[in-house]
Amino acid sequence: MKIITGTAHPQLAQDIAKTLGMPLCETKVATFPDGESFVQIEESIRGEDVYIIQPTCPPTNHNLMELLVMVDAVRRASADRITAVLPFYGYARQDRKDKPRVPITSKLVANLLTAAGVNRVLTMDLHAAQIQGFFEIPVDHLHSAPLLIKHLQDNYVDDLSNLVVVSPDIGGVKNAKICANYLGTDLAIVAKQRISATEVDAHAVIGNVKGKDVLLIDDMTESGGTLCAAAEILKEHGAARIFAGVSHGVLNDKARARLKDSCIERLLTSDSVPMAHGEMVDTVSIAPLLAKAIMNIHNNDSVSHLFEMDI
């Protein structure tokens, strides 16, 4: 087995390799002055089971192209099997035609990965679970929510009887409902209207949050607009402590400033992307979970018990 990393998130790859007790494969990954990606595998991988760790987070196009180049290099070096480990799947929100004459880019990405030579995909918390069906190869879809929830219980909220799981918009109700069932808590929903790509108006709460500790659940946040708007109206409806749990903290400077000024006590997120950090952010490592999944795949063991949020 060989573990290879691109430049998207080398720290996560190092943590995974350390958990597995093995070094990263010697690889040269560079960018030419004109922006082209170059990859050279600097040790033999003939007949090996290769895992390429590369979240396609911002800069999305560069990281995606770098991944495709790595896959091609590995395939031409006669690897036996290639698994693309995508802790964050870029373009996942472009999963359907919601307007005339627009692409379904998440399907295009699936086609590109398969055409490049990927035999299997290991990913986490897809924006829409049906993206798995865009592939003609096996896809293992993990969830970070149990790790985030455990961190919340260990550090902030040990009494779940006063906790309510909240979806910050209608689109996230299914994921929030799964988490509420997992915890055995009530569910509430915030109704919102998007004003622009970075501005959101939250105007109603469905469910009782008065005097309750709240856990806002979402798959990702970039600008923090949805979470902060939802937290504000939840506070107006009497919520006590407000926490947010997001799978992918693709945070920019505006998001960090918003979180600092919001009534969200802590944002809990995974380290699926390197920008998941900040003054108000708790980052929970997914390296042990990914390492366990990689080892099970390599040994042809079941990974179904790692999908424990699929209830």
Return the structure tokens found at 143: 């969830």
Instruction: Indicate whether 128 and 149 sit together in one domain.
Output: no
CATH number for the domain that contains residue 270: 3.40.50.2020
Instruction: Indicate whether 110 and 212 sit together in one domain.
Output: no
Instruction: Indicate whether 59 and 108 sit together in one domain.
Output: yes
Instruction: Indicate whether 250 and 223 sit together in one domain.
Output: yes
Alpha carbons 64 and 275: distance in angstroms, whole number: 17
Span 94-153, pLDDT tens digits: 999 989 999 999 999 999 999 999 999 999 999 988 999 999 999 999 999 999 999 999
Work out how many domains the chain is built from and give that number.
Answer: 2
Residue 33 in any domain: the answer is yes
136 class by beta-carbon count within 10 Å (0-12 exposed, 13-18 middle, 19+ buried)? exposed
Instruction: Indicate whether 116 and 233 sit together in one domain.
Output: no
Residue 154 in any domain: the answer is yes
Residue 179 in any domain: the answer is yes
Cβ atoms of residues 85 and 122 within 8 Å = yes
What b/e sequence results for 280-301 when a residue is b if at least 16 CB atoms lie within 10 Å of its CB, and e otherwise?
Answer: bbbbbbbbebbbbbbebbeeee
The verdict on whether 192 is a catalytic residue reads yes
- ∠ Cα 297 299 300 (to 5°): 60
Span 154-172, pLDDT tens digits: 999 888 889 999 998 888 8
What average pLDDT score do residues 74-92 get?
98
204 confidence band (pLDDT: 50, 70, 90):
confident
Q: So what's the pLDDT on residue 182? A: 87
Q: So what's the pLDDT on residue 192? A: 65
Instruction: Indicate whether 219 and 272 sit together in one domain.
Output: yes
Span 238-295, pLDDT tens digits: 999 999 999 999 999 999 999 999 999 999 999 999 999 999 999 999 999 999 999 9
Tell me how far the alpha carbon of residue 91 is from its chain's centroid. 12
Q: What is the mean pLDDT of the chain?
A: 93
Q: So what's the pLDDT on residue 24? A: 98
Residues contacting 295, CB < 8 A, separation 6+: 20, 301
| Domain of 209, in residue numbers | 145-284
Instruction: Check pLDDT > 60 for residue 209.
Output: yes
Residue 116 in any domain: the answer is yes
Identify the active-site residue in 107, 174, 177, 192.
Answer: 192
Picking from 61, 10, 72, the residue whose alpha carbon sits closest to that of residue 35 is 61
Residue 44 in any domain: the answer is yes
Residues contacting 305, CB < 8 A, separation 6+: none
Alpha carbons 177 and 269: distance in angstroms, whole number: 18
Q: So what's the pLDDT on residue 311? A: 37
Q: For residue 157, report the phi and psi dihedrals to the nearest 5 degrees.
A: -130, 100
